[in-house]
Chains A and B, each alone.
Chain A
Amino acid sequence: MAALAGLRAPVVWILLAIAFFTSISGKPVDGVLMLIVAAGLAWDAGRRALRHPGPEGAPARTGPLPARRRRFVVIALVAAGVAYAGVVGSFSRYSWPATAGIIGLSTVVVLIGWHGPVRARPDGERPPVAGTLAWLVVLVAGCLWELSSLLQQPSLTTDSYAHPTISTLTDPLMATSPGRMLVLFAWVAFGWYLAER
């Protein structure tokens, strides 16, 4: 019952779509993980909607850090990010050690996010509708362009030179250890940025 009520959240449907397309693209592990999160989120959102109808949300765990402490936290996180990228980037792509490293960090970050924002942030005003629509048009166009390239490949698991996906275009960078480390560091930094939102 709670999971059914949670299906009203659009994010759940987006995750289910990602799970479906990922699975048929030859990555069943990713698909199953997305499915688990979608089901968990639907159940959680439904449970909350049944208990407390109204806008959902969770209080922030801490307020803004003092400048000196924040500098120390930033340095520690950058060092940890460099170490993580160095270790996981040294493994081959699609190997079990790399998979374990990615799943481990992802699980930690998603669980942190599940319990609420890390820091308090002002709620801010509602963004202008026209400007928000402009962003949506550009981001959806990017996703559709990628999907169009994917569907024009000989098969979903075979790359195409004529219609390269972003994955295909980044293959040369990912083929080298320094390239993987660079991309992993950027990925970790973006995750940290999101976790702080």
Chain B
Amino acid sequence: MHEMSLALEIGRIAEERAGDAVGQVVTVGVEVGDGAGVEPENLAFCLEAVLATPPFRRARPVLERRAGDGLRLLYLEVDDERPDD
């Protein structure tokens, strides 16, 4: 149920880190620990909604399941060659 709050926070961090390139972010990599208290499919669903909303243009979430209780934004992939669709 709290996955939407987490997705919004992931979006906020991604926006901050990508800076001017936020519209060119194509992948948002997220580590989801088995003990993080997060339902991965639910989080993916919420992230798809957040990442389809400006300033994002075509970013997709990639969730990596891991042991432990970590929940981290791991990386962003940015495609600079296609500034606008």
Q: Do A and B come from one complex?
A: no
